Amino acid sequence: MGTRGIIARPDGRDWKGRYHHWDSHPESLGRTLWRIYREDFKRDIGRMLRVLIDEHFSWSTINGTNFDLEPRHLTARQEQLVWEMQEATGDRLFPPKCHCHGPGREPDEKDTYLTKRANVPFAYVLDEKKLTMKVYECKYDDGWQLLASLYLEGEEPKDWAALKGKSTTFRNRKPAGVA
């Protein structure tokens, strides 16, 4: 589904980030950000934010992709071949799909950042200093609702989809030894 989102970092009282087009629900993009922080980026949040926000201006999707591969946009034929290989092997063979590299790339918009004023359903704000990820849902007339405040070194939510529509914010425990 084309559920839009933002991958961002704090910027004073606002946030600043990049657009993510496909399936930005917590059970997809939230879980993906959690996984790539731990696995693909080996818990290096600084490098993760540089790749996701500073080096690319917009994402088609990062869900189900492999950050060991160079992010790029694929042609329809390339996607079909990768799908076939991925189905046969069970490996994550898709590169992260950005809108700024490879065939069919969009015009350069590297200075266009999204903030709290963006009209998208979900935002994921990753804080490098606090090692946290805040998950927001836009309620449009009511503004942004904080769905979850997560320590990246804490326990992963058991049910990412259950974060949506709650009247209280989910918080995982701060792990021992974290300042």
Domain-embedded: residue 179: no
CA within 13 Å, CB half, 12: 3
Domain-embedded: residue 178: no
pLDDT at site 110: 52
Cβ atoms of 7 and 124 within 8 Å: the answer is yes
Domain-embedded: residue 35: yes
The C-alpha atoms of residue 22 and residue 3 are separated, in whole angstroms, by 6
Domain-embedded: residue 176: no
Domain-embedded: residue 133: yes
pLDDT at site 179: 62
CA distances to 3, 69, 158, 178 from 161, rounded to whole Å, are 14, 28, 9, 27
Cβ atoms of 163 and 44 within 8 Å: the answer is no
Domain-embedded: residue 78: yes
pLDDT at site 49: 98
In a structure prediction context, what are the per-residue pLDDT tens digits for the chain, which is 179 residues long? 578 999 999 998 889 999 999 899 999 999 999 999 999 999 999 999 999 999 988 898 899 888 998 888 877 788 788 878 878 887 777 889 888 876 665 555 555 666 777 788 999 999 999 999 999 998 877 788 899 999 999 999 988 988 887 656 677 777 666 66
Domain-embedded: residue 60: yes
Domain-embedded: residue 19: yes
pLDDT at site 92: 76
Q: How many domains does the chain have?
A: 1
Q: Which helix (H) or strand (E) holds 89?
A: helix 76-89
* Domain that includes residue 62, residue range: 5-171
